[in-house]
Structure 1
């Protein structure tokens, strides 16, 4: 499939008009076996770099790659091999057809989605729960529920290194240079470490004693962290239902966005960094906010809460989970 041309950015005034006319497409296996099965429990969504494929991972071990322009399941690809529920999926940021999936039993698999084959496997990571590729696609990090973070290579069958964290670590993301990583913690803050050696990069000078500098922006657990595509802001989401936007030059919180739907489990920016959405396990809508003003510009109504959200990397197209089904808002309008 040919790469999709990136859309022009929309102003805050034009966005709600445009997205108000956008419909959501449903992507679902409607076979009798699927209808009779228990809930799939979609846990993760990932776009490939050109926005031509969408991968979903589910707690029932189903790993599927969809063509966003063809919602029927016969046009999708199921990748079989996991023996436990899939916690995270992510495409290599430099390779459109290389997908990584992580299951709750600590197994990491790398796939060539064109040939539908597993090209590498790493085992023994125990209760894996987070996944983040380095921007160059050469390495990635997988964290588990014991707060151990592993650095992996897609071509090696054992971890390159392991880094036990001193606090509960929920989610990890990279800066765009790949030299810094950001870890959201159960203590409500975000740590800033070097990569790949995991050393604190900033310190406070407290009476000549060194203390690690962290981003304190939440009154309870910090659950999610995401770098804006333009790298002006780092966004963090908390159990306190707040999205905090941090200036990446001075590391000052420039603004906070209160999301009425509940704890922010997942954050996603539009391709141009102009709009942001948070996924939550509570509420019945996905609220889209304008980053610079903090204003809510649109809300997508959902049947149930949408904890998993992912904007396409090239256009205003939002993939999300509703009632354990993948939905994508924006596909119809983009095909005009």
Structure 2
């Protein structure tokens, strides 16, 4: 079943392999993300700004540019259910929450380090942000105050919740995906996903696969496919 699903996806990408370029920033882009309704695409850049595009039929139209950070916008993400809110993480040691209806920053939260990754919990109540010192801070999305802070002994590259909001995932510099319970943050499992640095992770909406960069794609049953990502499921330790 899973193998057939991935083959269908691969065939779809092959048959619709078209690309267009859109000018969004004056420097390199670090992060892109779609809003929960799929209507807007946000991008964050080394030029210290974020941009938002609106999808109109077969093209993207630039809606607004968001300024305020004092350093590069290294990652951003949208609210899981509100298509008007997104949050940015910056090297200026802050995160900022933006509302596309007002085009203004509605909250700025100071953090201890230079931020490089960020995610919003599925219930919309918590924002997790990680910095260059491998500290992950959990921030209340309403009060904008820190709920918890966790220092890790390994290089943390990206973070994510599962859809049930009871597990927290990290990719690390050893090529592993670490799975923790949430909110306890107790280790559940470590998946040896890659032979080198594991850069990013994204769970599917079904919660049964977790694609991660950068070498291969594994289905939930452990078959290999020649894509530039890897997928595994909780409970599977790899080939």
- Is this a same-fold pair by TM over 0.5? yes
Q: CA RMSD in A?
A: 2.6
Q: Which of 36, 43, 46 matches 1:56?
A: 43
| 2:216 alignment partner in structure 1 | 242
Provide, for residues 15-72 of structure 1, a one-character-per-residue CA deviation record: whole Å limited to 9, x for no partner.
257515xx4343225xxxx7xxxx5111110111111111111001121111122645
| 1:7 alignment partner in structure 2 | none
| 1:254 alignment partner in structure 2 | 222
C-alpha displacement at 1:195, in angstroms? 1.2
Matching of residue 225 in structure 1 with residue 201 in structure 2: yes
Q: Aligned pair in 2 of structure 1 residues 115, 177: CA closer, same or farther (>3 Å)?
A: same
Which TM-score applies when normalising by structure 1?
A: 0.61
Using the TM superposition, name which of 163-172 and 220-229 deviates more: 220-229
Q: Aligned pair in 2 of structure 1 residues 155, 179: CA closer, same or farther (>3 Å)?
A: same
Q: Secondary structure at the match of 1:191?
A: strand
| 2:19 alignment partner in structure 1 | 24
| 2:3 alignment partner in structure 1 | none
Question: Are the equivalent residues in 1 in contact too, given 2:85–2:99 (CA < 8 A)?
Answer: yes
C-alpha displacement at 1:156, in angstroms? 2.4
| 2:120 alignment partner in structure 1 | 133
The 1-side partners of 2:23 and 2:48 are apart by 15
The 2-side partners of 1:98 and 1:176 are apart by 19
C-alpha displacement at 1:259, in angstroms? 4.4
Matching of residue 118 in structure 1 with residue 105 in structure 2: yes
Provide, for residues 135-187 of structure 1, a one-character-per-residue CA deviation record: whole Å limited to 9, x for no partner.
11111211111110000122223321110112111111111101001111112
The 2-side partners of 1:184 and 1:87 are apart by 16
The 1-side partners of 2:141 and 2:154 are apart by 27
Unaligned runs of 5+ in 1: 1-9, 202-212, 248-252, 269-336
Unaligned runs of 5+ in 2: 1-6, 232-239
